[in-house]
Amino acid sequence: MRINRVLSLVLVLAAGLPAAATADGSKFAHLSGNPDLRSASAIVLDSEGNIIFGKDVDTVRSIASITKLMTAMVVLDAQLDLDEQLTITSADRDLIRMTGSRLAVGATLTRRELLLLALMSSENRAATALGRTYPGGMDAFVAKMNEKARSLGMNSSRFSDPAGLHTENLSTASDLARMIAAAKTYPLITQSTTTLKQEVRPFSRRGPLNFANTNRLLKNADWDIELSKTGYIHEAGRCLVMRANIEGEEISIVLLNSFGKLTPYGDSNRLRKWMLASS
């Protein structure tokens, strides 16, 4: 019986169609209907990794700043000194998208603070500086990102830079579900990605800078979010991954290539409403 359920699920996913969970123990095991998501790819899993909903889960897409979750794991795996002071240099500027940053050249923060800003506020220079200061430099860091992906079974994924600026940061919804499962085991990642705002002082002779979380759902009382990351470049569309507690069950959500700034949040709310109405 178990084999038949798994085989049926594989066939459904291969067709890119919505899939219901196969585990009877899940609160959301017998959902009906369709949440009508606008995101091009989506996957929703229960706390044990059973698929509640799937849509084009194996289509390879650019993932933009979702990349920064992998960046954080590689930094933390290396057990580098999180209190070491790192200084932003001209090498950390974004020459691909030409995005700006309030972390001007000369800004100095601890590795821990740069990690927080990269995850919480999706700060590109912070993420790039983390890769640049890795033992062996940027090439070694990117190689380690891809090595980590392979170790997690993310066989359709590829990483090209720590900030997610390159189009060649690629993955699938199903691979990113694996990445969420790994990332949630790092307390500093869960803490950083759910921090609403943070004040830092990168310049000794200037006032503080305030940064905010890029996920607006963290301010929504209906949501209990345990891990979060947004992403956007033109080629990737709007992306959002989360680990959230819904009716007492931990749910993983991956939404890729959403059209429109608010679409990932709308899809998240549609998902939650559909799950609660059908459970």
Q: Which of 26, 39, 65, 228 is catalytic?
A: 65
Active-site annotation holds for 151: no
Active site residue 65: yes
**Residue 181, number of CB atoms within 10 A of its CB:** 15
DSSP the chain: -HHHHHHHHHHHHHTT-------TTSTTTT--S-----SSEEEEE-TTS-EEEEESTT--EE-GGGHHHHHHHHHHHTT--TT-EEE--GGGS-SSS----SS-TT-EEEHHHHHHHHHHS--HHHHHHHHHTSTTHHHHHHHHHHHHHHHTT-TT-B---SSS-STT-EE-HHHHHHHHHHHTT-HHHHHHHT--EEEE---TTS--EEEE-S-GGGG-TT--EEEEEEEEETTTEEEEEEEEEETTEEEEEEEEEESSTTHHHHHHHHHHHHHHHH-
Is residue 228 annotated as a catalytic residue, yes or no?
Answer: no
Find the catalytic residue in 27, 39, 62, 68: 68
Active-site residue, selected from the candidate residues 122, 157, 174, 192: 122
Contact 261/267 with Cβ under 8 angstroms? no
Residues identified as active-site: 65, 68, 122
